[in-house]
Chain A
Amino acid sequence: MQCKEAHETLSALLDHELADEQQHAAKAHIAGCSLCAEVARDYRRIGDDLRAVARVAAPVDLAHKVRARLASEAQLRQRSQRVAWGRLAQYAATLILVAGLSGLLGWQLARSSFEQHRLERDVVAAHVRSLLQDSTVQVASSESHTVKPWFNGRIEFAPTVKDLTAEGFPLVGGRLEYIDNRRIAALVYKRRRHVINVFMWPAEGEAPAAPKASVLQGYNTLSWTAGGITFWAVSDLNAKELADLQGLL
C-alpha cells in the first residue's frame, strides 16, 4: 500500500470501519511508515481533545422547555377535536334559532363568528405567503419614522408603527396587504428567529375589543380593536410572547 492510499483509509481505520483485508494492509503500512503513523497519532489526539472540550452543554431548562412544548401540542390536538364538535353544535344552534325565531340577533352572531374565522384564515394565509417571499417587507427599516411615512397615500389611515428593539421585538419593516377587499397595512416584527406579522385596518365603528387568541395551522393569532384600528398579529411565536407584543402596541 502506498502513502496516498493509506491516507485515504487512515480515518476509517481509526473508526474500525474497514473490511478485514483493507485493515491488515493499512496497519502494515503504518507500521513501516513514520509519516502515516504520525498522521494517525494526530487524528487520534484531535479526537480525544475534541471529546474533552468541544461538547457544548445544553441549557439545564431545555428538557423542561421541550416537554412543555410537546405537552401543549398534545393538548392542542385534543382541544381542536373538541372544538370541532363544539363548533358544529354552535352552528346547529344558530340554524335552529334562525329558522325558529327568524332571529336577527342569531343571524348577526353567526355572521360575526363566521367573519372572524374568515379573517383568521385570510391573515394566516397572508402571514404564510409573506414567509414564502424573498423578503417579508417592501420597506425594510427598524425606524418607525421611515416606515410610517411610507404608508402615506398607499392606504387611507395612519398605521401604528413602533420600534420595539429595546423590548426585544425589533421592527423589520412594512408592506401592503389585501384583505377583506381593501388595502391594509402589515408591519413585520421579529422575536429571535420568529417572524411576526401585525395586520391593521380601520375598525369602522366597531367598539374597542379585548385581545382574542386563537390557533390556526399551528400559528398563534391575536386580534383586538383599539383606537379605531383592528389589529391581527400572526406568528409561530408562542402565545405568551405574542401577548407581550400586544401589550407594547
Chain B
Amino acid sequence: MVGKTPFEELLTPHLQAAFNLAYWIVRSREEAEDVVQDAYLRAFRAFSSFRGEAPKPWLLAIVRNVAYRALHNRKRAGNVIFFSEDLKHRDQEVLNEAVSAEPSAESLLVAADEKQQLLAALAALSVDYREVIVLRELEGLTYNEIAEAIDAPLGTVMSRLSRARAELREQLARRIAKDEPNAV
C-alpha cells in the first residue's frame, strides 16, 4: 500500500487543481480523469527526481504535458478512426458538461445565463490562453509558478495573460451584445 508517504502528502492536496486544469485543456470530464490518473502515475515514477521545490506547479506541469498529449492523440485519431458523426456534437457536449459541473455556493450569485456566457467565452479561448487564465484566476499561481507549469519565460507569461484577459473580455462583450440586441 501507499501509506502517508511524502508523495501522497505533497500531491493529494492538489488533486482538485490537477483535475480542473486537465478539464480545461481536454474539455471532457472522462478524459480529464484519465489524464489525472496518468499524470499522478508519472509524477510517482519521477518523484525521486523531485527536489523539494513547490509541488503544485511541478505537478501541474506534468498534468499539462499528459493533457496535451491526449489532445494531440485525439486530433491524430480523428483523422483516421472517427467518423464525423462522432465529433459533431462534441462542442455542445462540452458546454453542457461545463454548465452541469457542480456549482459552488457563490455561483448562485451569478445568473445562470451569465454563467453560461462566461463558460462559453472561456471555452472559446485558444488553449494556450485558456490555460494561463485557469492557472492564474482559478488556481492562484504566481507568474513564476505559471512559468514553471507551462515551461515558458516569465515575460511570455506576463504578455500571454494580458492578451488572454483582453480576448476574454472581448469575447464576453460580443456574447452579451449578441444576446441583447436592443441594449446600447
Contact = CB atoms under 8 A, between A and B. Distances in A.
Nearest to B168: A46
A12 B138 contact: no
Interface residues of A, number: 44
A57 interface: yes
Considering the complex of A and B, which 6 residue pairs feature the smallest CB-CB distances, nearest first? A58-B19, A57-B102, A11-B162, A52-B106, A135-B80, A56-B23
Interface of B: 1-2, 7-8, 12, 15-16, 18-20, 23-24, 29-34, 36-37, 40-41, 44-45, 70, 73-74, 76, 79-81, 98, 101-104, 106-107, 109-110, 114-115, 118-119, 122, 133-134, 136-138, 142-143, 158-159, 161-162, 165-166, 168-169, 172
A56 B98 contact: yes
Contacts of A10: 162, 165
Contacts of B70: 193
Contacts of A52: 104, 106-107, 109-110
B40 A70 contact: yes
Contact of A11 (B2, B79, B138, B161): B161
Interface string A8-44: 1111100101000000000000000000000100110
Chain A facing B: main interface SS: helix
Given A54-B122, A66-B15, A59 B137 contact: no
B19 A70 contact: no
A166 interface: no
A141 to B, nearest CB: 9
Interface of A: 7-12, 15, 17, 39, 42-43, 46-47, 49-59, 62-63, 65-67, 69-71, 73-74, 134-137, 140, 172-173, 190, 192-193
